[in-house]
């Protein structure tokens, strides 16, 4: 496909997206929520867009669960995705903030009191995009984000992410972009459950080998930066609970000054496993809130082998 055709395709997709968003915004919230949940149920659960990916991975991770239980987890996952779309693109900040609860602020304050910034270790869990409201609570935050294929959609989404003062750090900027914001004593949010591809560090995630991005662990070890695990939980009333855990400190403190000597892979792996342990606990407790359609183990283990 030529560059010109790709650009026209992106424009067409963006116009369609904006048109749909405009229609949904004219509806009462209760109606738009019902329609989105129905739409995701039909396209995701019934038609089965990436449903088989989710089912295969769930069956491997939780072999004790019946097909009916796995099906219900998947259906609830698509429901969470529908509600997340409502909260990201349709709800204004006042409405979203009124539906959010902050739990564990003391852990954020303790980490930032050290003056080194803090890494917010989170995952594809609940509605991670709701982090845009954190500056409204007086919490300075920057977010690592991968540029999406459709540049128009990417710019639109980033404007929403940044409108309360959060900053987007392009993943392509590497460690430099993260360090710059940590030096401002900000929280930098990183999705630690991203598949890091062939060049990541391999260690178990939910019981199976997976590729992990080592950037967060590497920075934490090199600069003695605290890591605060935090996740957005959707409760039974569909409120969003921002829950933050006590900070994790690297086992081996180092000087804040830049060191040319890289942290060893063993130290990075140890820190990654500590973060994984907490995220895995949340996923096991709320399996429907994790993004099971993501091929998390693609470069570590074949989850689709019979």
pLDDT tens digit string along 281-291? Answer: 999 999 999 99
Instruction: For residues 81 and 78, give the distance between their C-alpha atoms in angstroms, rounded to a whole number.
Output: 5
Read off the tokens for 216.
Answer: 């967060």
- pLDDT at position 215: 85
- 88, with CB counted inside 10 A (0-12, 13-18, 19+), is middle
Percent of the chain with pLDDT over 70: 95
Residue 172 has pLDDT above 90, yes or no: no
Residue 99 has pLDDT above 70, yes or no: yes
pLDDT tens digit string along 198-243? Answer: 889 999 999 999 999 988 899 999 999 999 999 999 999 999 999 9
Using pLDDT thresholds of 50, 70 and 90, give the confidence band for residue 252. low
Q: What is the largest CA-CA distance in the chain?
A: 57
Length of the chain: 306
pTM for this entry: 0.92
By C-alpha distance, which of 69, 37, 81, 74 is closest to 55?
74
Instruction: For residues 23 and 30, give the distance between their C-alpha atoms in angstroms, rounded to a whole number.
Output: 14
Residue 262 has pLDDT above 80, yes or no: no
Residue partners of 45: CB distance under 8 A and separation at least 6: 51, 71, 74, 75, 78
Read off the tokens for 137.
Answer: 């609570």
pLDDT tens digit string along 109-166? Answer: 999 999 999 999 999 999 999 999 999 999 999 999 988 889 999 999 999 999 999 9
Read off the tokens for 139.
Answer: 């919490």
Q: Could you give phi then psi for residue 233, rounded to 5 degrees?
A: -100, 135
- If you average pLDDT over every residue of the chain, what do you get? 92
CA–CA distances in Å: residue 233 to residues 20, 90, 147: 27, 19, 25
The residue among 288 and 258 whose pLDDT is bigger is 288
Q: Residue 202, SS3?
A: strand
CA–CA distances in Å: residue 302 to residues 47, 71, 72, 118, 209: 24, 21, 24, 34, 9
At how many degrees (to 10) do helices 151-162 and 3-25 cross?
Answer: 40
């Amino acid at each position: 496909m030529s560059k010109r055709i790709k650009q026209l395709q992106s424009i067409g997709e963006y116009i369609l997206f904006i048109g749909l968003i405009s229609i949904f915004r004219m509806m009462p919230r209760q109606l738009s929520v019902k329609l989105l949940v129905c739409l995701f149920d039909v396209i995701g659960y019934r038609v089965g867009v990436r449903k088989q990916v989710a089912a295969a991975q769930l069956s491997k991770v939780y072999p004790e669960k019946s097909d009916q239980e796995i099906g219900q987890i998947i259906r609830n996952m698509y429901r969470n995705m529908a509600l997340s779309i409502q909260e990201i693109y349709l709800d204004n900040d006042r409405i979203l903030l009124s539906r959010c609860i902050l739990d564990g602020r003391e852990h954020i304050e303790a980490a930032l009191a050290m003056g080194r910034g803090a890494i917010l270790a989170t995952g594809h869990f609940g509605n991670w995009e709701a982090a845009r409201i954190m500056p409204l609570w007086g919490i300075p935050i920057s977010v690592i984000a991968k540029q999406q294929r459709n540049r128009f959609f990417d710019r639109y989404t980033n404007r929403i992410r940044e409108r309360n003062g959060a900053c987007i750090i392009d993943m392509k900027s590497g460690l430099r972009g993260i360090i710059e914001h940590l030096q401002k004593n900000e929280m930098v949010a990183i999705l630690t459950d991203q598949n890091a591809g062939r060049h990541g560090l391999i260690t178990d995630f939910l019981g199976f080998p997976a590729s992990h991005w080592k950037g967060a662990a590497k920075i934490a070890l090199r600069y003695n930066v605290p890591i605060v695990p935090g996740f957005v939980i959707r409760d039974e009333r569909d409120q969003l609970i921002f829950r933050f855990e006590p900070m994790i400190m690297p086992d081996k403190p180092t000087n804040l000054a830049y060191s040319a000597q890289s942290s060893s892979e063993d130290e990075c792996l140890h820190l990654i496993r500590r973060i994984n342990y907490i995220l895995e606990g949340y996923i096991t407790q709320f399996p429907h809130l994790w993004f099971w359609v993501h091929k998390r183990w693609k470069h570590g283990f074949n989850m689709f082998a019979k």
